[in-house]
């Protein structure tokens, strides 16, 4: 018998015809009482469906006092522009705390750290805020926290400019091999010549930490420093390595050739978040809600800013102030 010869069922018996009713009568509606509830699936009613806000879920740091003479306009122009993602009043508040961070890093790094923490609590999604927090943590020997903040900055702005500080934080935590690994990462090949010099100096210090000052000296001798200041930085690191090798006479001779840095010149930090207050201030970026005003200081001098580099000596372990001698 072929399939064509097989008897065909009446249409009424095929699918599409009238279906027999289910035993038990009408199907209960979803969520009704006809279906027995599974054990353990009933949820208790919520008291409040609203999730707690960020500022309610973590304790807020106590804000240190800021002198009245500290103004938002004292902040570097690039930093002020970054803070425009915040509300006008919050930007001014966070900016004044950042000014205090820059002013206090040398004379009171612990107080600078407190100002940085307040700035993070109020503007933590801005890269310059996290950058200031990272530097303050580094300067107060909070190396794990500094490393986390530096990596956050890198995620926010995509820049690897502080890779030398990341490597030095690894040294501060007793992991010189990780500092060397950072120098071998793909990001290290994207650094500017000055930043590369700083990273090489840190790596030389890591070699000393691992008991190999000869390799550190060889590395320092191969550095091609692009500026007089960076050449002096390499020479300073080399003095420390020579002393580790017991070559004090060579170290003394090299040290005698180094420039005598003025205290004010040597006070430049890794991050410049403020500019010197002037009698005639330059025009600051206006917020969208502010009206255009006439520029009454057209002839006022513009602040001069320079790219700062880490000022540590990586040939010795960091001290309790977060900096190597």
Within a domain: 43:
no
- Domain shared by 80 and 155, yes or no: yes
Which residue, of 219, 244, 260, is where some domain finishes?
A: 260
CB 146 within 8 A of CB 138: yes
Residue 61 is predicted with a pLDDT of: 84
What pLDDT is recorded for position 60? 81
- The sign of the CA dihedral 135, 141, 143, 144 is negative
**72 and 133 together in one domain:** yes
Q: How many domains is the chain built from?
A: 2
Q: Which of 74-83, 253-262, 316-325 shows the highest mean pLDDT?
A: 74-83
Residue 117 belongs to a domain with what CATH number? 1.25.40
Q: Which residue, among 319, 311, 307, has the nearest Cα to 267 in the 3D structure?
A: 311
Residues 69-82 have pLDDT tens digits of 999 999 999 999 99
Query: Higher pLDDT residue, 5 or 271?
Result: 5
User: Are residues 140 and 196 both part of a single domain?
Assistant: no
138 and 185 fall within a common domain: no
121, 193: one domain: no
Q: Within a domain: residue 281? A: no
Domain boundary among 260, 275, 300: 260
CA distance 142 to 134: 9
pLDDT at 108: 96
pLDDT for res 57 = 53
Tell me whether residue 303 is exposed, middle or buried, using C-beta atoms within 10 angstroms of its C-beta: 0 to 12, 13 to 18, 19 or more.
middle
Distance CA 98, CA 104 (A): 10
Q: Encode pLDDT of 189-222 as tens digits.
A: 999 999 999 999 999 999 999 999 999 999 999 9
- Domain boundaries, position 185: 176-260
Look up residue 129 and give its DSSP letter. Answer: H
| Same-domain check for residues 195 and 223 | yes
């Amino acid at each position: 018998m072929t399939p064509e010869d097989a008897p065909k069922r009446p249409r009424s018996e095929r699918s599409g015809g009238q279906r027999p009713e289910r035993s038990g009568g009408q199907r209960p509606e979803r969520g009704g009482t006809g279906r027995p509830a599974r054990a353990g699936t009933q949820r208790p009613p919520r008291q409040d469906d609203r999730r707690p806000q960020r500022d309610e879920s973590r304790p807020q740091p106590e804000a240190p006092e800021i002198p009245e003479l500290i103004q938002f306009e004292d902040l570097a122009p690039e930093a002020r522009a970054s803070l425009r993602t915040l509300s006008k009043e919050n930007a001014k508040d966070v900016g004044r705390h950042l000014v205090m961070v820059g002013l206090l890093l040398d004379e009171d790094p612990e107080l600078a750290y407190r100002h940085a923490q307040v700035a993070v609590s109020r503007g933590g999604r801005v890269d310059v805020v996290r950058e200031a927090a990272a530097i303050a943590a580094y300067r107060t020997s909070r190396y794990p926290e500094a490393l986390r903040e530096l990596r956050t900055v890198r995620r926010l702005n995509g820049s690897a400019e502080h890779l030398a500080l990341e490597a030095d934080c690894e040294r501060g935590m007793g992991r010189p091999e990780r500092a060397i690994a950072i120098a071998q990462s793909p990001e290290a090949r994207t650094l500017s010549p000055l930043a590369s010099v700083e990273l090489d100096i840190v790596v030389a210090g890591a070699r000393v930490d691992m008991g190999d000052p000869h390799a550190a000296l060889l590395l320092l001798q191969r550095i091609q420093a692009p500026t007089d200041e960076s050449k002096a930085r390499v020479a300073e690191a080399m003095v420390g390595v020579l002393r580790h090798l017991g070559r004090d006479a060579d170290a003394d001779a090299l040290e005698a050739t180094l420039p005598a840095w003025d205290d004010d010149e040597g006070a430049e930090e890794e991050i410049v978040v403020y500019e010197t207050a002037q009698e005639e201030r330059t025009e600051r970026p206006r917020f969208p809600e502010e009206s255009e005003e006439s520029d009454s200081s057209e002839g006022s001098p513009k602040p001069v800013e320079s790219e700062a580099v880490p000022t540590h000596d990586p040939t010795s372990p960091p001290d309790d102030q977060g900096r190597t001698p």
